[in-house]
Amino acid sequence: MPSYKAPIRDLQFVFHELHQADQTLGSLPGFDEVSPDLVDAILEEGGKICEELLHPLNQSGDQEGCRFEDGKVTTPKGFREAYRTFIEGGWPSLAADPDLGGQGLPETISFMLEEMLCSANVSFSLYPGLTRGAINALSHHASDELKQQYLPKMVEGVWSGTMCLTEPHCGTDLGLVRTRAVPNDDGSYAISGTKIFITGGEHDLTENIIHLVLARLPDAPEGVRGISLFLVPRQLPDADNDPGEQNGVSCGSIEHKMGIKASSTCVMNFDSAKGFLVGPENKGLACMFTMMNAERLAIGMQGLGLGEVAYQNAVEYARERLQSRAATGVKAPDKAADPLLVHPDVRRMLLTTRAYNEAARALAVWTAINIDLAHRHPEPEKRQEADDFVALITPIIKAFFSDYGYETTTLCQQVYGGHGYIREWGMEQFVRDARIAQIYEGTNGIQAMDLVRRKLFIEDGRLPQRFFALLDGFVAGHAADETLAIYITPLAEANKLLQELTDWLVTASRDNPDQLGAAATDYLRIFALTTFAWMWARMAITALARVADDDSGFYRTKLRTASFFMGRLLPQIEGLARGVRSGADLMMAFDESEF
């Protein structure tokens, strides 16, 4: 059975030392009581919940899965009790508004908990995770009446939330949505249609389930301009705001999936179900994107979380498993063979995973800090700048974190050899669970298109130019320090290449819009690797300032991992850049009959 140890020390390094978030967040309105001691206490207690309560249910939950019978879903053994403990501890409400019963802590703390939840039990994490996204959408767009009625119980965790977009005939293209919303005499709407792939659409963890549903009004315009958003409870609240009459909402079936088997993925049928409009008519997609963007960041954290737990177990296996002798001579003369860890190719797989994980953790926390800045900074210009950074980085976190998460769980499985293919070791579950993150909440190809088609062009390129200026300033500020050259020079070269590719892509797309789609995935990976290089350069500078007084080896290992990333992983961008510049014709010249 696999194990998990929350990476508290590295989270503390990223939060306190690298980003100095205590000062940044502590200066924002409402966060003056967020002390280093409080942050550490939350991380440590959250780590215990993940290690001792949730991770022990991960493998058994996968093997048992959810059960569907007579329209009801039963979660695996232990999930209901664990969920009750989770909400009693106040974990779902960390960053929620105190006026709704939340604790009003920074989103950054919630992000760090999300990583640990995903490492411990990604199926479990999806239930409160979707609810947080629904709370976010309702907080921004619902009427005061709906907020007062539904949000306190959702924040508490006794009611959960879903996101109902996809239908049997449409996935990414939401302009094809057919679910209908017909006005009732009392101001509500009768919602009718079928939604598929609905995470947490039905389960036994909460008293009620609140569905956010995209549907069309009778005279709505065609396409995405004619979609509205509706709140549709599974049970209609009674006079005491307790779950009352069953609404016209039912689960038709649950999916039998490759992974995340303890998370119920449902077909949901709405049969004249009573719903309530959220936001303006025909503006539902914009309202839902508030939730979708939050979920995309959360999905990226699944890649990081699974990469971390896979790494931890693969390292332990490589320490203990004896296999052949080292090429440079015997390392364990008292044993029949040397441990796997002596072999360069095993180290390649492990260090690749570690280098990605630690850079991803640093970038995730930086992004979360910017979410808090965008929400709370007193200066509008600073809020806009932070919001621009979050908008730009969101598709990178969703796509690259989940891409590398699948790649590295597979690498860690490979460390085990044949044992990695056997269920009892747990590695094959990490691989299966990681795969969905590349698909849902917008496939990674869609994320890449969002980056190149939207984010590069908003306000004449304001988002990337603002980010490039940040990296240019960082490079210029450290270029004269020769001791940093092994970190700064590769970053400077990557940043220069990324800016050149951006200019080339924008120019080339004017004559041929297909250039954007042809380049998108490779361009996003180049962008992500460059951003990781920036994180590693910053971590190296932080570590260098402390390594002389460090007896633990923590900072020395940081520096070595930074060198590994710069020398071994960052050079990928050179080949990817050649692919970007090869253009769209290599793909689009094929006739359809040739496929």
CA distance 140 to 105: 18
What does each of the 595 residues of the chain score in pLDDT, given as a tens digit? Answer: 899 999 999 999 999 999 999 999 999 999 998 999 999 999 999 999 999 999 999 999 999 999 999 999 999 999 999 999 999 999 999 999 999 999 999 999 999 999 999 999 999 999 999 999 999 999 999 999 999 999 999 999 999 999 999 999 887 777 789 999 999 999 999 999 999 999 999 999 999 999 999 999 999 999 889 999 999 999 999 999 999 999 999 999 999 999 999 999 999 999 999 999 999 999 999 998 888 888 999 999 999 999 999 999 999 999 999 999 999 999 999 999 999 999 999 999 999 999 999 999 999 999 999 999 999 999 999 999 999 999 999 999 999 999 999 999 999 999 999 999 999 999 999 999 999 999 999 999 999 999 999 999 999 999 999 999 999 999 999 999 999 999 999 999 999 999 999 999 999 999 999 999 999 999 999 999 999 999 999 999 999 999 999 999 999 999 999 999 999 999 999 999 999 999 999 999 999 999 9
Q: What are the start-end ranges of the E strands in 218-376?
A: 228-233, 235-237, 243-246, 249-254, 265-278
Residue 175 is predicted with a pLDDT of 72
**Those residues with Cβ within 8 angstroms of residue 559's Cβ, 6 or more apart along the chain or in another chain:** 540, 543, 544, 547
Question: Could you tell me which of 357, 212, 184, 203 has the C-alpha nearest to residue 270?
Answer: 212
CA distance 325 to 239: 73
In Å, how far from its chain's centre is CA 223? 28
Do 226 and 282 form a contact (C-beta atoms < 8 A)?
yes
Q: Using CB atoms within 10 Å of the CB of residue 334, give its burial: 0 to 12 exposed, 13 to 18 middle, 19+ buried.
A: exposed
CA distance 278 to 283: 9
Residue 172 is predicted with a pLDDT of 74
Q: Which residue has the tokens 């932070």?
A: 386
Residue 539 is predicted with a pLDDT of 98
Q: Which residue has the tokens 């959408």?
A: 137
In degrees and rounded to multiples of 5, residue 277 shows phi and psi of -65, 135
Two tokens, residue 440: 């849902």
In Å, how far from its chain's centre is CA 300? 2
CA distance 57 to 51: 10
Two tokens, residue 174: 């939401």
CA distance 356 to 81: 34
> How is residue 457 annotated by DSSP?
T
Tell me the one-letter amino acid at 25.
Answer: L
Residue 361 three-state SS: helix
Number of other CB atoms surrounding residue 461 within 10 Å: 15
How far is it between the farthest Cα atoms of the chain?
A: 84
Question: Could you tell me which of 157, 118, 151 has the C-alpha nearest to residue 137?
Answer: 151
CA distance 141 to 143: 7
In Å, how far from its chain's centre is CA 426? 22
Residue 257 three-state SS: coil
Residue 378 is predicted with a pLDDT of 97
**Those residues with Cβ within 8 angstroms of residue 52's Cβ, 6 or more apart along the chain or in another chain:** none
**Those residues with Cβ within 8 angstroms of residue 408's Cβ, 6 or more apart along the chain or in another chain:** 307, 310, 311, 352, 353, 356, 357
CA distance 155 to 96: 7
Q: What pairs with residue 251 in β-bridges?
A: 268
CA distance 344 to 341: 8
Cα separation values, 14 from 19, 20, 345, Å: 6, 8, 29
Two tokens, residue 141: 């767009």
Cα separation values, 192 from 57, 182, 286, Å: 37, 8, 21
Count CA atoms within 13 Å of residue 327 on its CB side.
4
Residue 170 is predicted with a pLDDT of 83
Q: What distance, in Å, lies between the first and last C-alpha atoms of the chain?
A: 44
Two tokens, residue 186: 């009392």
Angle between helices 380-415 and 427-435 (to 10 degrees): 140
Q: Using CB atoms within 10 Å of the CB of residue 51, give its burial: 0 to 12 exposed, 13 to 18 middle, 19+ buried.
A: middle
CA distance 237 to 150: 9
Question: Could you tell me which of 537, 506, 528, 539 has the C-alpha nearest to residue 572?
Answer: 528
Question: Could you tell me which of 257, 266, 282, 197 has the C-alpha nearest to residue 234?
Answer: 266
Count, in order, helices (H) and strands (E) of the chain: 18, 11
CA distance 155 to 102: 6
- Residues carrying an active site annotation: 441
